[in-house]
Structure 1
């Protein structure tokens, strides 16, 4: 889900000769990019649910909407700013400001960041859910991935998350993951706490356009 930052340029010019030609858009003008991802989640001994994320990016602007993410039954919306750079080691950074409503009423500042070097990459998204109704309901959430691409269409690695969305004795869940990409579509699975009574499986089905 990491966004791509494009350069912005003015796109009008005057043609020589008789009259004037209509203004032409610059080839470097940023275009909208969208992504939709669903995360069906199976919780051993708990409530199964599906969360979803929709993102829209245009240049430095990042917009994001989520459902069942901060809690089951919650809705949230964010605005952010994309930054990126690097050659041998590429990095992307998106600070976010958002709000959540429904089963939680909260102000939610957050951050999405990634690093990539050759076939290795690291991704993290984190946010602080500041509950406006009850301070004890506030919490810090984080999801991170360390990935490796043996081939271009396959990404495998380890993931970890810290969440309150479902019960369990573990504050931090860890486990392996794998993702396969065909064109604009990516399908994957994350298996947290394998072999324990707190096992959680999170699938992912996403498309970018």
Structure 2
């Protein structure tokens, strides 16, 4: 889901299975079930020579179950919804991979398959999300992607590089590159993405994420 998972940090769980165990412990009936974690992110997109517009991503996780909804992501006036299942692990090197399937409706429509993945090593992290929209009717096939490479010198500060492949801005430039700056205070993260700096096709995106 765009940067919303990376913006609040990468939270991964790791459990070690003991093959030598001869007895299987019975589950504790009093143990609490996994709680929901929710992330809502609003984006204000500012292409240099196009009209500005808002977009949003809402994600909810319950254990390995992942649910997500997006507005104005694949296209303006388009809405999409996804369901996925997460796989995570690692200690020194932490990873998380979430295959997703879904559907987009509105100005662009059709089924979607994709994946989201993150990797963290010490203060460095990498995040990528990609989705493939098959051609249906007047809609041509397309692969959307968003990726970030970040460094966190302080717990509340994240700097790095960002890239995306999208056709939402129109024009001939589908692949965008740039830098990112994120500030996190408690459950709120503010982000600035600057694509194609100083070029005719530059795009600035401001985002605010709330985790709860």
**TM-score, normalized by length of structure 2?**
0.87
- Residue 95 (structure 2) aligned to one of 67, 91, 94: 91
Tell me how far 1:133 sits from its aligned partner. 1.9
Runs of 4+ in 1 over 3 A off after TM superposition: 1-7
Name the structure 1 match of 2:18.
none
Q: What secondary structure does 2:134 align onto? A: strand
Largest Rg, 1 or 2: 1
Given that 2:12 and 2:89 are in contact with CA atoms closer than 8 Å, whether structure 1 keeps it comes out as no
Match of 2:119, SS state, is strand
Structure 2 match to 1:17: none
Match of 2:21 in 1: none
Aligned residues: 194
1:144 aligns with 2:174: no
> In the aligned structure 2, how far is the partner of 1:108 from the partner of 1:149?
33
- When normalised by structure 1's length, the TM-score is 0.88
Q: Could you list the per-position Cα deviations for residues 81-102 of structure 1 after superposition, in whole angstroms to 9, with x for gaps in the alignment?
A: 0110011110011100000000
Gaps of at least 5 residues in structure 2 are: 16-25
Paired position in structure 2 for 1:123? 127
| Counterpart in the other structure of 1:21 | none
Unaligned runs of 5+ in 1: 13-23
1:177 maps to 180
Deviations along 1:30-70, one digit per CA (max 9) or x if unpaired, are 11111100110001111211110001100010000110011
Match of 1:199 in 2: 202
Q: Once the 2 structures are TM-superposed, how far is the Cα of residue 134 of structure 1 from its aligned partner?
A: 3.1
Match of 1:163 among 150, 153, 166: 166
Asked if the contact 1:5/1:83 (under 8 Å) is kept, the reply is: no
